[in-house]
Amino acid sequence: MKRFVELYLALDASTSTLAKVAALKRYLADAPARDAAWAVYLLAGGRPRRAVPTSELRTLACEAASLPEWLFEAGYAVTGDLAEAIAYVLPDPVDRFDEPLADWMEQRILPMRALDAAARREAVLAAWRGLSADERFMFVKLVGGGFRVGVSKLLVQRALAEWSSTEAAGIAQRMMGYTDIDTPPTEASFQALLVEAPHGERGGQPYPFFLAHALPGEPAALGDRGDWLAEWKYDGIRAQVVKRDGQVWIWSRGEELVTERFPEVVAEANSWPNGTVVDGELLAWLPGDAEPAPFALLQKRIGRTKLSKAILAEAPVRLLAYDLLESEGMDRRAEPMHVRRMRLEALGIATSPLLDASDWPALATAREASRERRVEGLMLKHRESPYGIGRTGSAWWKWKVAPLSVDAVLIYAQAGHGRRANLYTDYSFAVWNRAPRDAAEAEAALDAPSGELALVPFAKAYSGLTDEEIRRVDSVIRKTTVEKFGPVRRVRPSLVFELGFEGIQASSRHKSGIAVRFPRMLRIRDDKPLHEADTLDTLKALMEVAT
Amino acid sequence: MPDLVTRQPQGLFCEPGGFYIDPWLPVERAVITHAHADHCRPGHGAYLAQRDALGLMRARLGDDAPLEGLAYGEARRIGDVTISLHPAGHVLGSAQVRIEHHGEVWVVAGDYFVSGAGDCNTTCAPFEPVRCDVFVTESTFGLPIYRWAPQAEVLDEMRAWWAGCAAEGRHALLMGYSLGKAQRLLAGLATADAPGPVFVHGAVARLNEAYREAGVALPEVPTITPEMNFKALHGALVIAPPAVQGSRWARAMGPHSDAFASGWMRLRGARRRRGVDRGFVFSDHADWPGLLSAIAATGAQRIIVTHGDEGALVRYLTELGLQAEAFATEFGDETHGGVEGEAT
């Protein structure tokens, strides 16, 4: 594990892509293949299941470091990272365990899930006694299920390609599914990344997803409307459905195998010819409806661990296809978009319709119907574009409608994690239960929070600000803190933000009666006094527009 | 008996002695624990400090400042009390202020660093515990996540990083506060077996002179000048204040790796926010075990906690059965590495 920890530290310390690739190549050159198999799995996004509950890790850390729980928690709040807090408070090691990464994973960490609490306790404490602070950090990340590192899958693929002198695109394709949670990597699966498999042995292996960029500005800059295919941008789950050898596999965009969750789609794909791979959107769609159901219904279904008859009837799912990656067993990705679409339609698979608006202004008009159609806007794909890998090139654009927005008041703040540890970056927002008459009435309501006029919390957001804005808000939060409970600060409200979100729904689980989707900060409204922030009625009106 | 030291709007005040300790507003008579800017502010009528600190204070306050020095351990009657200054191990001339009044003893420690095994610092006198009834302690790193590795080990890590830079044909830029930290780094790294030549930034060089005048034998190294040609050098180490990060000054070094030396570098978040290639955990302040051992060694039954994590340390000491409370001061900075505290 020592070598892997050194690699992790090098990757974590450096901000240079070149240096990261160099560190990865050094590791690959030095490490035995079964260790490299695990390193690639973990760095490319593989997440072993949590082997020890984090609450148990905290309790054990307090015990091992002889600290009262509150004092440990105070340190944890400052680091913003449990593994880091544990690594630093534990006493120096008395033993030295230097086993290969694969042994750690397969013989110590993965089996912990099956142990009873007493045996797990012994296993964790023994590991801590034999590891340095950096190794403990890694160990806690691995058993606690929170391992992340600042390298992209693309970077890992590049390093693998350079190190093994193979083509990166081929590695990317073979790496699909490598990080599956239920399939630990082996020396053989690692070696298989580096060589082209004969066609008949590919099984359910999918292709890397091609991703779109957000369109900056107006589409006229893309040139002739006639060169572009326009489709609705559906709000569902992106998926790749593979039909080969009489079997169906469904892969999520996160490269998770989700076949069993969508029996309706499996049933449909069973009728496809072998050697067909389709890219599309999984949507909850009620029979007879012209539009898909809101995302919330799909979310409800995903949330269920068991698919009962009732939920299958309440939230039936279907696939709306938009691309064809393989047909008749042939890789079609290099063919032009319009040819792939033609093949897809010829197969008789339900396909996302193209918009026929003849010029950009007409398309812009059509796009305005996005909300009624429960879509996020439009996708623009170049007619001649091949199906690429990841977020590369400029052939696919998402042209979303402007988000819904309200002006809301910041009322609580919590420190972030990782790079944002110790900075207050996660905020809770509220709107007024009714419009205050004037500034004085709003101020009075803040002083006596139990009155009739009140702020109602309705959303949390943590993205959208620049580093500079975050520092500014952080300093206001520290100065206006009224109360601290644990890591959360309640502030005397003084800042108004324009909050954007994609969807809005009635919700009995939220105090405000409203749930918003993808809330984020669009800007700080320094021009807006507190009493002019929006009200619950504003939100309710948006709900009517949006649904 | 009323408290010997109380918190007043101007700072910590010793009424029977008629003086303030490290006051943050102008007062008639100030006793200064050390020369860092948040403890030694301009505008007081008279300054009393450990005599090795006077050169550093003059560099900060100007030649006309009314300064007076005491040797460590030398007693001085002021008003109705007797005071003496004792080594705090933080920077050159840093002192704990011992105040005796009718048999009662208070010690105001200022900032301090408690040496453990492997901490060899030749740039200032090491912390000496002083028995007292009431101990006023800092708490900059007053949480158990702050535990320092021996400084000799950290210096080895720095040397390995520097040698690595040299092997890749790059220079090494090591940033740390120019008063105290920079001298510790210089003494620890400019050794006979160093992987390359050492240089210092002008701001560091000025303070090095004050150290040498006080009799500290710092290695003699050249100061960076605008005409310097870094291309002609191989594997140079430059010690500079944090302000140079990303500046034209730093770019003039050509290809280099940058690093920051501070206790705050313990935190991965702070390390990443700073955006340097390496963060070395290297502090002039006591870590958590250091604070606890210093407090225990005083034998004091009453502890007053200032700047840092007052809340956590007060509660912990209270649970240990000591009488503990906090003074809100204007030293340092409350945030954990969020903002660059001066004396870290």
Q: With beta carbons under 8 A apart, name residues in chain B contacting A421.
A: 267-270
Instruction: Give the separation between CA A124 and CA A108, rounded to whole angstroms.
Output: 9
Q: Which fold does the domain A404-546 belong to in CATH?
A: OB fold (Dihydrolipoamide Acetyltransferase, E2P) (2.40.50)
Predicted confidence at residue A68, as pLDDT, reads: 95
- CB spacing of B277 vs A88 below 8 angstroms: no
Contact of A88 with chain B, judged by CB distance below 8 Å, is answered with yes
CA distances from B167 to A19, A247, A423, B154, B238 (A): 14, 55, 37, 20, 16
Instruction: Give the separation between CA A74 and CA B288, rounded to whole angstroms.
Output: 13
List the single best residue of B139, B143, B158 to mutate versus A (max A Cβ within 10 A): B143
Helix, strand, coil distribution of chain A in percent, nearest 5: 40, 20, 35
Predicted confidence at residue B311, as pLDDT, reads: 86
Residue B344 has pLDDT above 50, yes or no: no
Cα angle, residue A293 at apex, residues A292 and A298 outer, rounded to 5° = 110
Sign of CA dihedral B331, B334, B335, B339: negative
Predicted confidence at residue A258, as pLDDT, reads: 85
Q: Give the whole-number percent of chain B exceeding pLDDT 70.
A: 96
Q: For residue A422, give the nearest of B309, B315, B337 by CB distance.
A: B337
| Domain B151-280 listed as CATH 3.40.50.10890 | yes
Q: With beta carbons under 8 A apart, name residues in chain B contacting A468.
A: none
Predicted confidence at residue A374, as pLDDT, reads: 84
- Architecture of the domain spanning A213-400: 2-Layer Sandwich (3.30)
Domain boundaries along the sequence of chain A: 2-144, 213-400, 404-546
The single-letter code of the amino acid at A416 is G
Instruction: Give the separation between CA B155 and CA B199, rounded to whole angstroms.
Output: 17
- Architecture of the domain spanning B5-146+284-326: 4-Layer Sandwich (3.60)
- CB spacing of B269 vs A420 below 8 angstroms: yes
Owner of token pair 């105070």: A74
Q: For residue A71, give the nearest of B146, B316, B338 by CB distance.
A: B316
Query: Which DSSP symbol is given to A210?
Result: B
Distance, first Cα to last Cα, chain B: 36
Q: With beta carbons under 8 A apart, name residues in chain B contacting A69.
A: none
Predicted confidence at residue A198, as pLDDT, reads: 65
| Domain A2-144 listed as CATH 3.40.630.30 | no
CB crowding A183-210: b at 16 or more within 10 Å, else e: ebbbeebbebbbeeeeeeebebbbbbbb
Contact of A474 with chain B, judged by CB distance below 8 Å, is answered with yes
Count Cβ atoms below 10 Å from residue A366 Cβ, excluding itself.
16
Domain boundaries along the sequence of chain B: 5-146+284-326, 151-280
Query: What number is the ipTM of this complex?
Result: 0.90
Contact of B334 with chain A, judged by CB distance below 8 Å, is answered with yes
Predicted confidence at residue B135, as pLDDT, reads: 98
Predicted confidence at residue B120, as pLDDT, reads: 78
Predicted confidence at residue B342, as pLDDT, reads: 38
Count Cβ atoms below 10 Å from residue B74 Cβ, excluding itself.
12
CA distance A419 to chain B (A): 4
Beta pairing partners, B5? B14
Nearest residue of A to residue B146, measured between CA atoms: A88
Residue-by-residue DSSP string for B221-286: -PBP-TT--GGG-SS-EEEE-GGGTTSHHHHTT-SEEEEEESGGGGSHHHHHHHT-SEEE---SS-
Residue B324's φ and ψ, nearest 5 degrees, are -130, 145
| Of A71 and B226, the one with more pLDDT | A71
- pLDDT under 70 in chain A at which residues? 197-201, 418-419, 450, 486, 545-547
Contact of B277 with chain A, judged by CB distance below 8 Å, is answered with yes
Residue B334 has pLDDT above 50, yes or no: no
Predicted confidence at residue B339, as pLDDT, reads: 35
Query: For the whole prediction, is pTM greater than 0.80?
Result: no
Predicted confidence at residue B336, as pLDDT, reads: 43
Query: Which 3 state secondary structure label does DSSP give B163?
Result: helix
Instruction: Give the separation between CA B161 and CA B171, rounded to whole angstroms.
Output: 10
Contact of B338 with chain A, judged by CB distance below 8 Å, is answered with yes
Q: Mean pLDDT throughout B31-37?
A: 95
Residue B60 has pLDDT above 80, yes or no: yes
Instruction: Give the separation between CA A506 and CA A523, rounded to whole angstroms.
Output: 25
pLDDT averaged over chain B? Answer: 91
Beta strand extents in A245-382 (DSSP E only): 247-252, 276-284, 317-327, 330-331, 375-382
